[in-house]
């Protein structure tokens, strides 16, 4: 596993880097040796934030972040979140494999971000970020799993049944919803 650690608004000491590598390194049980793990540590006032993004060779991108007063507490919490997500994903894969169903997460790339500053003076709407990614056909259940793994509130995907673009989302009262084109 290739761990890339970067700091925003703070200098990373060898002790901090060592603690991160030691803790995140425990996840190698679930990951391919060539998996890339990006860790970003930042500090703002009395809060330390750690964000970890796991970019596997094949499979879904997995992400977790936390902010705490203690950086080491934040590292522990992020590790626990990632461990739980990876365990859940591995169990789902095993369940699907045993039932001969497939999960399609090949080629998902959520890292293609293009920031642009096109501002129209007549509008108050400013698009601050644009994301593009390849949408492989998948079921709504697979889309919900992907959404949970990247810890987002919604997920856009190509529905394998209709070949149309659909969106799944978390409902405030629990459960999930899906938006489809008519």
> Distance between CA atoms of 84 and 62, rounded to whole angstroms?
11
Residues 26 and 90 in one domain: yes
Least confident of 3-12, 30-39, 77-86, 122-131: 122-131
What is the chain's Cα-based Rg? 18
**Judgement on whether residues 39 and 88 belong to the same structural domain of the protein:** yes
Q: What domain range includes position 24?
A: 2-98
Position with higher pLDDT, 11 vs 107: 11
pLDDT confidence tier of residue 22, bands split at 50, 70 and 90:
very high
92 and 43 both lie in a single domain: yes
Q: What is the CATH number of the domain that holds 136?
A: 3.30.505.50
Same domain assignment for residues 80 and 7: yes
72, 98, 124 — which closes off a domain?
A: 98
Using pLDDT thresholds of 50, 70 and 90, give the confidence band for residue 105: very low
pLDDT in tens, 128-172: 888 887 788 999 998 998 888 888 889 999 999 888 999 999 988
50, 6: one domain: yes
Q: What is the pLDDT of residue 55?
A: 86
Above 50 in pLDDT, residue 107?
no
Are residue 91 and residue 176 in the same domain, yes or no?
no
Answer whether residue 39 shows pLDDT above 90. Answer: yes
Does 90 lie in the same domain as 161? no
Identify the CA nearest to 9 among candidates 45, 61, 39, 54. Answer: 45
Residue ranges in the chain assigned as alpha helix (H): 14-25, 71-98, 140-149
State the helix-helix crossing angle for 14-25 and 71-98, rounded to 10 degrees.
Answer: 20
Choose among 150, 110, 163: nearest CA to 134.
Answer: 110
Tell whether 138 and 88 lie within a shared domain: no
Given 56, 74, 98, which residue is the final one in a domain? 98
Domain count, the chain: 2
Q: Look at residues 48, 100, 95 and name the one whose alpha carbon lies nearest to residue 74.
A: 48
pLDDT in tens, 48-72: 999 999 888 777 788 999 999 989 9
Burial 39-54 (b: 16+ CB within 10 A, else e): bebbeeeeebbbbbbb
Whether the predicted model's global pTM rises above the 0.75 cut: no
């Amino acid at each position: 596993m290739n761990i890339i650690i970067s700091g925003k608004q703070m200098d990373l000491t060898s002790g901090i880097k060592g603690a991160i590598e030691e803790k995140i390194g425990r996840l190698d049980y679930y990951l391919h040796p060539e998996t890339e793990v990006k860790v970003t540590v930042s500090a703002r006032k009395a809060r330390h934030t750690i964000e970890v993004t796991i970019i596997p060779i094949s499979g879904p991108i997995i992400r977790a972040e936390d902010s705490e007063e203690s950086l080491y507490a934040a590292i522990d919490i992020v590790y626990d979140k990632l461990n739980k997500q990876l365990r859940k994903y591995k169990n789902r894969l095993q369940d699907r494999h045993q039932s001969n169903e497939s999960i399609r997460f090949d080629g998902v790339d959520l890292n293609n971000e293009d920031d642009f500053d096109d501002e129209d003076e007549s509008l108050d709407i400013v698009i601050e970020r644009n994301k593009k990614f390849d949408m492989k056909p998948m079921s709504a259940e697979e889309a919900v799993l992907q959404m949970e793994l990247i810890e987002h509130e919604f997920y856009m995907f190509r529905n394998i049944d209709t070949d149309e673009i659909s969106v799944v989302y978390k409902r405030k009262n629990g459960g999930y919803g899906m938006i489809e084109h008519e």
